[in-house]
A and B are shown apart, each in its own frame.
Chain A
Amino acid sequence: DAGVTQSPTHLIKTRGQQVTLRCSPKSGHDTVSWYQQALGQGPQFIFQYYEEEERQRGNFPDRFSGHQFPNYSSELNVNALLLGDSALYLCASSRPGLAGGETQYFGPGTRLLVL
């Protein structure tokens, strides 16, 4: 049973560019959440997707957007990249359950470096 997969593993971009990160959830999971983990910090919630809709959003600007496909996979898009967007981006999947109480399964992350 494949776990959560993310691609690419590493990415280097320059300021002002746009980036798309991809996530495939664990089999049987229909909910995908995205997190940003800056160096030396805990993950910060970006948003969660369920039934192809953004269900909840964290405190991130509109430059961060996402999408969920009918097969439950998801993309995170970041426009107009800033140096401060350099971080590890984590995707987590879960199955429906107690709102907020579900076990999240995390992928290995995509490390983004903005120069």
Chain B
Amino acid sequence: AQSVTQLDSQVPVFEEAPVELRCNYSSSVSVYLFWYVQYPNQGLQLLLKYLSGSTLVKGINGFEAEFNKSQTSFHLRKPSVHIRDTAEYFCAVSGPDTGGFKTIFGAGTRLFVKA
């Protein structure tokens, strides 16, 4: 069965430093990959998604992610974080291996940006 592993439950980082949030998935077949952000007491908002094509995906708020098929990874990066980036980040996967319409989420990574 398809699964998503977010390798870090919490990532503390200083403001203006770069950050990488790691995500691995289990499927060996074609997948669609997503990163969502959840601010306190809010729903999830899509940051970016990979469907096909270029392996480097750019999203909103200066985030980008790289799809690596051989390592089954989809790590999220930002070159310089702000205090307002403090939130919970979820990696997710869907596609034929999940039944088509089901999206499977990782457990989340809490990004804490310190001044």
Q: Is the CB of A90 within 8 A of B103?
A: no
Q: Which residue of B lies closest to A98 (CB)?
A: B51
Q: Is the CB of A42 within 8 A of B105?
A: yes
Q: Which residue of B lies closest to A4 (CB)?
A: B43
B50 to chain A, nearest CB (A): 9
Contact residue among B41, B46, B90, B96 (Cβ-Cβ distance under 8 Å from A43): B90
Spot the interface stretch: A14-22, A65-73, A75-83, A100-108.
A100-108
B94 to chain A, nearest CB (A): 4
Q: Is the CB of B103 within 8 A of A45?
A: yes
In the complex where A41-B108, A43-B90 touch, is A100 in contact with B103 (Cβ < 8 A)? yes
Q: Is the CB of A48 within 8 A of B101?
A: yes
Chain A contacts with B in 81-109, Cβ cutoff 8 A: 90, 92, 98-101, 103-109
B contacts, CB < 8 Å to A: 4, 32, 36, 41-46, 49, 51, 90, 92, 94-96, 98-108
Q: Is the CB of A55 within 8 A of B101?
A: yes
A contacts, CB < 8 Å to B: 4, 33, 35, 40-45, 48, 55-56, 58, 90, 92, 98-101, 103-109
Interface on chain A toward B: helix, strand, loop, or mixed SS? loop
Q: What is the CA–CA distance of A81 and B40 in the complex, to the nearest angstrom?
A: 26
Instruction: Return chain B residues, CB-CB under 8 Å to A101.
Output: 32, 49, 51, 94-95
In the complex where A100-B98, A100-B102 touch, is A107 in contact with B43 (Cβ < 8 A)? yes
Q: Is the CB of A45 within 8 A of B104?
A: yes
Q: Which residue of A lies closest to B98 (CB)?
A: A100
Contact residue among B94, B102, B107 (Cβ-Cβ distance under 8 Å from A41): B107
Instruction: Return chain B residues, CB-CB under 8 Å to A40.
Output: 107-108
Q: What is the CA–CA distance of A107 and B49 in the complex, to the nearest angstrom?
A: 19
Contact residue among B45, B49, B51, B107 (Cβ-Cβ distance under 8 Å from A106): B45
Q: Which residue of A lies closest to B33 (CB)?
A: A101
Q: What is the CA–CA distance of A101 and B107 in the complex, to the nearest angstrom?
A: 20
Q: Nearest 4 A-B pairs (CB), nearest first?
A: A106-B43, A42-B105, A100-B94, A106-B44
Q: Which residue of A lies closest to B1 (CB)?
A: A59
Instruction: Return chain A residues, CB-CB under 8 Å to B92.
Output: 42
Q: Which residue of B lies closest to A48 (CB)?
A: B101
